[in-house]
Amino acid sequence: MKGKFRILGLGLGVFSACALMLALIPAAPVAAATAVTNVWVQFTTSTYNLTNTASDFTIHFTPTTAMERGVDTITVWFPDGATAMGPDNFSLSSAVTTASYYDVDRDGEASTYDPTDVTSAAVLSTTGYRVTVTTPVDLNAGTACSLRIEAAAGVACADSTSHSQYKVKVYTSKDTTPV
């Protein structure tokens, strides 16, 4: 009987030592939210400052985290007039989600769009002033890319009376901090 208590005591001692070691290992830190970089907007038509006129523009950015086609999303957040993003509204009320009006460009070229550019349908939120597109191509971390929204999509500037700058923001399903 004495031998059984020694084995039980030894097992309990090993278990206690293991539990103590696991308790002392620090927990992995929670990763901070990342953000896209190098964000700029290119208006490719002269209608961007006309009241209720759809505009053709491109949002350029560089993802910090790689994105997978068909899975990850790009969201553009337009000024809604009630936020610090600016006093001017964009109107999404007449916008359409036809895929051919939203081009995701994986190499971020500034002025040309070639056959390698791919389109994606959009999800619109007229209350949140957001256009979300699922990327139809893989986007590499650290490589400039862009999302072009054609004038035919119907995203319109709603106010030309103010000369304030528009503050359009962009974020992705991987880089979740709006920039």
What's residue 131's pLDDT? 86
Q: How far is CA 35 from CA 1, 82, 100, 133, 164, in A?
A: 65, 23, 27, 17, 25
Per-residue pLDDT 10s for the chain (179 aa) are 555 555 555 555 555 555 555 555 555 555 567 999 999 888 776 655 666 677 788 889 999 999 998 899 999 887 765 555 555 567 777 778 877 788 888 876 645 555 456 777 777 765 567 888 888 888 999 999 998 888 888 877 655 555 556 678 899 999 999 99
CA 124 to CA 121: how far, in whole Å?
A: 10
Sign of CA dihedral 103, 106, 110, 113: negative
Enumerate the H helices of the chain as residue ranges.
2-24
Is residue 105 within 8 A of residue 117, CB to CB? The reply is yes
Structure token digits, residue 44: 């490719």
The b-or-e profile of 127-138 (16+ CB within 10 A means b, else e) is: eebbbbbbbbbe
Instruction: Give me the pLDDT at residue 15, please.
Output: 58
Q: Which domains, and CATH codes, for the chain?
A: 37-172 (2.60.40)
Question: How many CB atoms lie under 10 A from the CB of residue 112?
Answer: 7
What's the residue count for the chain?
179
d(CA 92, CA 156): 7
The pair phi, psi for residue 5, each rounded to 5°, is -65, -35
